[in-house]
Amino acid sequence: MKTIARCAALLLAAWLSAAAAAPLTQEQKAWVARAARYEKNGWIYLHIEGEARQRGFQHGYLLAKEIAETLRVLREVWKHQSGMEWEWLVEKSKAMFTPKVDSENLAEIDGIVEGMRAAGITSSRDEITAYNGSIELVGYWWPKEKNKLEAKAPDPPKQSCSSFIATGSMTAGGGIVLAHNTMSSYPDATFGLILDILPARGFRLLMQSLPGWVHSGSDFFLTSAGLIGSETTIGGFSGFDEKQVPEFVRMRRAIQDASSIDEWVSIMKRGNNGGYANAWLIGDINTNEIARLELGLKYIGFEKKRDGFFIGSNIAEDLKILRLETDRDDGDIRLSSVARRVRWKQLMKQHAGKIDVELAKRFMADHYDTYLLKENPGSRTLCAHWELDAESPGSHLYAPFRPLGTYDGKVVDSKMAKQMSFVGRWGAACGLPFNAAQFLEAHPQFDWMTGLLKDRPTQPWTEFRARSQK
């Protein structure tokens, strides 16, 4: 009876939500007519354009259900990890983050809220701002704040990724090749969104994102200025300055406004708060120049070159950042970040002069464990699967069988970037499927994730192009 009553309550809530949706005005209909949405091979593609409020409305209206679902999952995960209510975090963000959001990003966020409301789903400026800044709030602000509260809960796992960028004599055609996969807790893999933004001012953007975000988060992007980029989180990093500008604000301004690598770096450094500290891999297809920006809080590492490669595996390369701002041992190959860095160097040496899109796809799906010296999909491989690890290396970091790992893959080269396109694979980059019910049955210690984990069946690599057709 309880189950029937709960289902009835959910149906009633859904009906009331739908009933609250008001007919669009003629102006709103005109805005939505300029947008486009379709689904393909596990991804959602969304094109939005115009002024900030207009494109925000398009986004919120066309993805209202997906935004609501992602927020539902985030609320539950946050409460389980912290013991605190989501509304409490939103209030903290309201004081700390909302006043630091620039006017254009804020107008786009307001448009998202307005679009959601038109679709019958209620949110607020402060909630969507907190949601956009959730990586920083949960992973960087909260670990410091919980110490003030004398909370004993372990720090939440930070997002991590595998990525490389190569150019010149390293690649088959001499141009740039960039690849990236996102490694995170599996409840985070709610939806794969390809967001195509044509703003009234600034450069066009094509990036991976989440419904309701004005930035990327997974941070794989290309722009009509000829810039392409990705990042990998700096592991073991704990710096955060709540008085400075949120990372998601600076990231969006950089990709929309910057016309060169140096300008991009300058925007990211301005007001740096240390939140979501990353090693950024950036390329300029106009010059074939590539760069790595490691952005700590106190220290910054920056390199550029026109021949060679940069890699990212969540271990800092800049020694000041590594030794003074992280707690990682760069010689411990039992750790995922170190093992993957070794593998990246092996692959770069082995395939120098031959790297292209097809090889990059293989790299993203690689399962060679440099600690065990064999093929062994797990936490130490470029395509990571913590859920397969019976004995999790670095047990102080992650519990055995934790549902965490790679849930996508993306590749772009200079030729594709000129056409504003890239290829992506939703789900593990290797194609290994994930069945939520089977996982939870095998690992009941994670049963609190019931209803939060989603299946990810095997999907093919798929090309997406700005304002592409089905």
Q: What is the pLDDT of residues 113-172, one digit of tens each?
A: 999 999 999 999 999 999 999 999 999 999 999 988 888 878 877 778 999 999 999 999
Q: Tell me the pairing of strands 421-426 and 289-295.
A: unpaired
- Give me the helices (H) in 288-364, please: 319-325, 336-350, 357-364
Inform me whether the pLDDT recorded for 222 exceeds 80.
Answer: yes
The pLDDT, as a whole number, for residue 397 is: 59
Query: d(Cα 367, Cα 377) in Å, to the nearest integer?
Result: 5
φ/ψ region of 292 (left if φ > 0, alpha if ψ in -120 to 50, else beta) reads beta
Q: How many CA atoms lie within 13 A of 179 on its CB side?
A: 29
The pLDDT, as a whole number, for residue 470 is: 45
pLDDT in tens, 287-318: 999 999 999 999 999 999 999 999 999 999 99
Residue range 23-50: mean pLDDT, rounded: 98
Residues 6 or more apart whose Cβ sits within 8 Å of residue 133:
93, 97, 246, 247, 248, 275
Query: d(Cα 394, Cα 428) in Å, to the nearest integer?
Result: 23
Per the model's pLDDT, the better-predicted residue between 395 and 68 turns out to be: 68
pLDDT in tens, 79-111: 999 999 999 999 999 999 999 999 999 999 999
Inform me whether the pLDDT recorded for 32 exceeds 50.
Answer: yes
pLDDT in tens, 174-194: 999 999 999 999 999 999 999
The pLDDT, as a whole number, for residue 441 is: 98
The pLDDT, as a whole number, for residue 17 is: 47
Q: What are phi and psi of 295, to 5 degrees?
A: -110, 95
Query: d(Cα 131, Cα 70) in Å, to the nearest integer?
Result: 9
The pLDDT, as a whole number, for residue 4 is: 37
SS3 98: helix
The pLDDT, as a whole number, for residue 468 is: 57
pLDDT in tens, 319-347: 999 999 999 999 999 999 999 999 999 99
The pLDDT, as a whole number, for residue 20 is: 62
Residue 224 CB neighbour total at 10 angstroms: 16
| DSSP structure class, residue 149 | T
Residue range 393-419: mean pLDDT, rounded: 87
The pLDDT, as a whole number, for residue 392 is: 58
The pLDDT, as a whole number, for residue 2 is: 37
pLDDT in tens, 355-371: 999 999 999 999 999 99
The pLDDT, as a whole number, for residue 214 is: 98
Identify residue 444 by its one-letter amino acid code: P
Identify residue 50 by its one-letter amino acid code: G
pLDDT tier for residue 455 given thresholds of 50, 70 and 90: very high
pTM for this one? 0.94
Give the chain's domains with CATH numbers. Answer: 25-148 (1.10.439), 160-237+244-465 (3.60.60.20)
3-state secondary structure 62-91: HCHHHHHHHHHHHHHHHHHHHCCCHHHHHH
Q: Tell me the pairing of strands 43-50 and 160-167.
A: unpaired
Mean confidence (pLDDT) of the chain = 93
Distances (CA, A) of 43 to 5, 81, 195, 408, 425: 34, 28, 10, 10, 8
pLDDT in tens, 234-272: 999 989 999 999 999 999 999 999 999 999 999 999 999
Q: Angle at the Cα of 403 (from 402 to 409), degrees rounded to 5?
A: 130
Inform me whether the pLDDT recorded for 198 exceeds 90.
Answer: yes
Inform me whether the pLDDT recorded for 9 exceeds 50.
Answer: no
Q: What are phi and psi of 442, to 5 degrees?
A: -75, -25
Q: Tell me the pairing of strands 308-312 and 36-40.
A: unpaired
Strands (E), 129-187: 160-167, 177-185
Find the range with the poorest average confidence among 1-5, 162-166, 221-225: 1-5
The distance from CA 126 to its chain's CA centroid, rounded to whole angstroms, is: 21
